[in-house]
Copies of this chain bind each other. A is one copy, B any other.
Amino acid sequence: MSEQKNRQIRLARRPKGMPDESCFEMTEEAIPRLREKEVLVRTLYLSVDPYMRGRMNEGKSYVPPFPLGEVIVGGVVGEVVDSRHPDFAKGDLVVGQLGWQDYSVAPGKHLTKIDPDLAPITTALGILGMPGLTAYFGMVDIGKPKSGETVVVSGAAGAVGSAAGQIAKLHGCRVVGIAGSEEKIRYITEELGFDAAINYKTVPDIRKALSQACPKGVDIYFDNVGGDITDAVLTKINYQARIVLCGQIALYNLEKPDVGPRNFTRLLINSAMMKGFIVSDYADRFPEGMKRLTEWVSQGKLKYRETIIEGLENTPRAFLGLFRGENIGKQLVKVADPQV
């Protein structure tokens, strides 16, 4: 095992504004030997997620920055190829926060086994993983949807947004999605059952479109994007509205601080609530979230899509594509097939 080379993608430089492939470099090194309680995992699928952009900067975002020159860390589904931990055996399928690399060594306690008979293993990075849980807790715990309310979701065709909107539908809400292509609009309305959708790239007047799509105003806004779209939605909020601040992807690559209407007065005069969160805030409720998500997926009530690029070397391209809106649903990179 240890003679085999391990390809790794490292943070080569911190981006200013929009990152490009020169921010990453691919290196190779030997696979390290296992120590007691460690497990060697062969990467099958990698997750690329918008929040990782924040970790490329120097300052703390949700989580500490990626160290310069180190392997990028993110969600990985892999297969155990060697183990010195009693709970893991060769052939086990696992998910964890591992590296953008062919092989990762991790303490067993940082890994979670997944059952390939329950759902496709890729779902552990999507609808039954961090994005699904993010949508669940954001919508259910912060949004608190009530039957008959109107919910707007931005980034509605993404991994989190598409799940958040469907969860609101399951609570009896009218759900309006905002997305950036006709294909995405068709996906969320025709396949996922959103009541209406707005293509923010082509609509002449987003406020007017929101007024038409939300004749009773907006009770919950699940925000993945920020910026101008959020400004527009905030003009339509109702008394006691809830704004779920999940992401601000429109801002992550700005070179200057985000400036615009401060908009707090909108919250003030509507007794509205805005709450930021990260899924780990809900770590002690993950079992509840997984149970609900698994039930809904198995009953066909919660649909998902994955956009999969092949090849570890294409991981930076997949990541950068997130900021161009190239993905529908969860963006994954397939690195290898299971061997065992």
Where the two chains meet, the residues of A that have a C-beta atom closer than 8 Å to any C-beta of B are: 54, 60-62, 223, 226-227, 230, 240, 245-248, 251, 257-265, 267-278, 281
Contact = CB atoms under 8 A, between A and B. Distances in A.
Contacts of A257: 261
Given A251-B265, A257-B261, A264-B226, A277 B281 contact: no
| Nearest 3 CB-CB pairings of A with B | A268-B276, A267-B276, A273-B275
Contacts of A271: 275-278, 281
Contacts of A262: 226-227, 230, 258-263
B258 A245 contact: no
Nearest to A278: B271
A46 to B, nearest CB: 24
A3 B277 CA distance: 64
Q: Can you tell how many copies of this chain the complex includes?
A: 2
Contact of A276 (B230, B258, B269): B269
Contacts of A268: 62, 245-248, 276-277
B248 A258 contact: no
B274 A274 contact: yes
Contact of A265 (B226, B240, B278): B226
Nearest to A248: B265
A159 B33 CA distance: 67
A260 B261 CA distance: 6
Nearest to A251: B265
Contacts of A269: 54, 60-62, 276
Contact of A275 (B272, B276, B278): B272
Most buried by B among A62, A230, A269: A269
B267 A275 contact: yes
A281 to B, nearest CB: 5
A263 B259 CA distance: 8
A318 to B, nearest CB: 23
A32 to B, nearest CB: 33
Given A230-B262, A269-B276, 6 more contacts: A226-B265, A251-B265, A262-B263, A271-B281, A272-B276, A273-B273
Most buried by B among A246, A268, A275, A278: A268
Given A273-B273, A274-B273, A245 B264 contact: yes
Contacts of A259: 259-262
Most buried by B among A60, A245, A257: A245
Contact of A248 (B227, B245, B264): B264
A226 to B, nearest CB: 6
A113 to B, nearest CB: 29
26 contacts: A61-B269, A62-B268, A62-B269, A223-B264, A226-B264, A227-B262, A230-B262, A230-B264, A245-B267, A245-B268, A247-B268, A251-B265, A257-B261, A258-B265, A259-B259, A259-B260, A259-B261, A264-B274, A264-B276, A267-B276, A268-B277, A271-B275, A271-B276, A272-B275, A274-B274, A274-B275
Contact of A274 (B227, B258, B267): B267
Contacts of A245: 264, 267-268
A275 B267 CA distance: 7
